[in-house]
Amino acid sequence: MQPSLTPALLADLRKPRPYPAVSVALPTHRTRPDSDQNAIRLNNLVTEALRKLEEDPAVTREHADDVARQLRSAVEEFDPARAREGLVILAAPGEQQTWTVCRSVPERVVLSDTFLTRNLVASDAALRPYWVLTVAADRIALWSGQGEDVAEDDEHDFPLTRSLDDPDVERKEQIGDVPSTYRDEQARQFFRDADTALAQALAAEPRPLYVAGEPAAITLLGEVGQAARDAEQIPHGGLAHGPADAVARAVAPARTERAERAVTAAHASLDAARGHKAYAAGLDEVWEAATSGRVELLVVEEHFRATVRAGEGHLIPAEDDDADAIEDIVDDLVESVLEAGGEVQFVPDESLADGGRVAAALRY
């Protein structure tokens, strides 16, 4: 699974690059027959990028050759089996990153001195990354989840392991002094260490947390630490070693319930904002509030897209080939709101019909 879009990684992606920093965005398909065209359309779009590199007088031959190698490498590495709704390739002299995203993206090639990141930010907000901590007497592991994809995390001092073999167990059995697996001091210290590592992971990357394991293991984690106190508990043992798809299946019902609660809470927040005259609806109102940093909560329908250009105090619908058009104003909105410290919630289509498919609760 690709890395999560942490604040540190996003900040790095937004840093200026030696010209040209090339961003290639392609809407893709998960299933056949449409998915059969993914590789062909990617080749065509990269060919367009190579042409732009050749024709741009500001691009040196050295940089053009370097970035061309990066783009060709991305094409070779593309795995059609892992396609989602969109593909974003970021290439600059000496570097290349490829991202599959869960939201469709406008097809485009952009040469600049920075990467185009708004599609990544919007997709990450829609995916709502989460953590899963799987606990057992001999192994405690942290898993990073994005949508339906889960992968074991190895960047936050996990996994923690210990041996359950006790060289003195025979003597202890004779005197009746063999404690429960989760009651001896070694077990408690093992879970304390896990709590410490978990707290550090949550501080670095705050996300919803699910804890899965035998009830006794979950109980012990709560007794010895505080990091998992707000976690959703999943009484399902046998997951400390995975596999990843089993962990994903175990947390799926809880994730669905959490998503439904979040949608309900978002609508309640909008209703409250109306009562306090801190409500905006429709692209024009929400865009004005977002650009002035006033949006506390942005609520947008899952598949809402709009291509616009800026008019006198309002947004005007535009065609995709309009040179002055903003091809995906929704992703721009999402990025602007998150940068200003607001929250974003995607809701089912048609649930904001009376709000122009996008609405916001405002700070003032």
For residue 277, what are the contacts with CB-CB under 8 A and spacing of at least 6?
none
For residue 81, what are the contacts with CB-CB under 8 A and spacing of at least 6?
none
Q: Do residues 12 and 5 touch, judged by C-beta distance below 8 A?
A: no
Distance CA 126, CA 5 (A): 12
Q: Do residues 231 and 211 touch, judged by C-beta distance below 8 A?
A: yes
Angle (nearest 5°) at CA 68 between 62 and 71: 145
For residue 90, what are the contacts with CB-CB under 8 A and spacing of at least 6?
13, 21, 22, 23, 24, 96, 97, 98, 99, 115, 116
For residue 86, what are the contacts with CB-CB under 8 A and spacing of at least 6?
25, 26, 27, 28, 100, 101, 102, 103, 104, 105, 119, 123
Place of tokens 């042409």: 51
End-to-end CA gap in the chain:
40
- pLDDT for position 158: 96
User: Does residue 27 have a cis bond before it (omega within 30 degrees)?
Assistant: no
Residue 272 exposure: Cα atoms within 13 Å on the Cβ side: 11
Q: What is the mean pLDDT of residues 276-282?
A: 95
CATH of domain 7-127: 3.30.960.10
**pLDDT tens digits along 12-21:** 998 999 999 9
Q: Do residues 25 and 101 touch, judged by C-beta distance below 8 A?
A: no
| Bridge pairing between strands 130-135 and 232-235 | unpaired
Which range of 9-18, 94-103, 159-168, 187-196 scores highest in mean pLDDT? It is 187-196
Structure tokens at 283: 């692209």
Q: What is the DSSP letter of 312?
A: S
Domain regions of the chain by residue span: 7-127, 130-257, 276-362
- pLDDT more than 90, % of the chain: 62
**Of the options 3.40.50.150, 3.90.1150.10, 1.10.260.40, 3.30.1330.30, the CATH number for the domain spanning 276-362:** 3.30.1330.30
Tell me if domain 130-257 and domain 276-362 are identical in fold. Answer: no
Per-chain mean pLDDT for the chain = 89
Q: Phi first, then psi: what are they for 147, rounded to 5°?
A: 60, -125
Q: Is 93 a residue whose pLDDT tops 80?
A: yes
Distance CA 346, CA 348 (A): 7
Strand partners, 298: 344, 360
For residue 124, what are the contacts with CB-CB under 8 A and spacing of at least 6?
4, 5, 146
Q: Phi first, then psi: what are they for 63, rounded to 5°?
A: -70, -35
Count H helices and E strands in the chain, helices first: 10, 16
- pLDDT for position 234: 97
- pLDDT for position 44: 95
Q: Do residues 358 and 283 touch, judged by C-beta distance below 8 A?
A: yes
- pLDDT for position 153: 92
pLDDT band at 179 (very low <50, low <70, confident <90, very high): very low
**pLDDT tens digits along 299-338:** 999 888 888 888 777 888 887 667 677 777 888 899 889 8
pLDDT band at 174 (very low <50, low <70, confident <90, very high): very low
Q: What is the mean pLDDT of residues 266-272?
A: 96
Q: Is 364 a residue whose pLDDT tops 80?
A: yes
Strand partners, 95: 92
**pLDDT tens digits along 186-202:** 999 999 999 999 999 99
- pLDDT for position 80: 81
For residue 276, what are the contacts with CB-CB under 8 A and spacing of at least 6?
none
Q: Phi first, then psi: what are they for 111, rounded to 5°?
A: -105, 125
Three-state DSSP class for 299? strand
Q: Is the pTM of this model over 0.85?
A: no
- Name which of 86-95, 257-266, 350-359 the model is least confident about: 350-359
Q: Is 211 a residue whose pLDDT tops 90?
A: yes
| Bridge pairing between strands 279-281 and 295-301 | unpaired
Q: Is 181 a residue whose pLDDT tops 80?
A: no
- pLDDT for position 147: 84
**Of the options 3.40.50.720, 3.30.1300.10, 3.30.420.60, 3.30.590.10, the CATH number for the domain spanning 130-257:** 3.30.420.60
Q: Is 170 a residue whose pLDDT tops 60?
A: no
Structure tokens at 124: 């990450």
Distance CA 1, CA 146 (A): 9
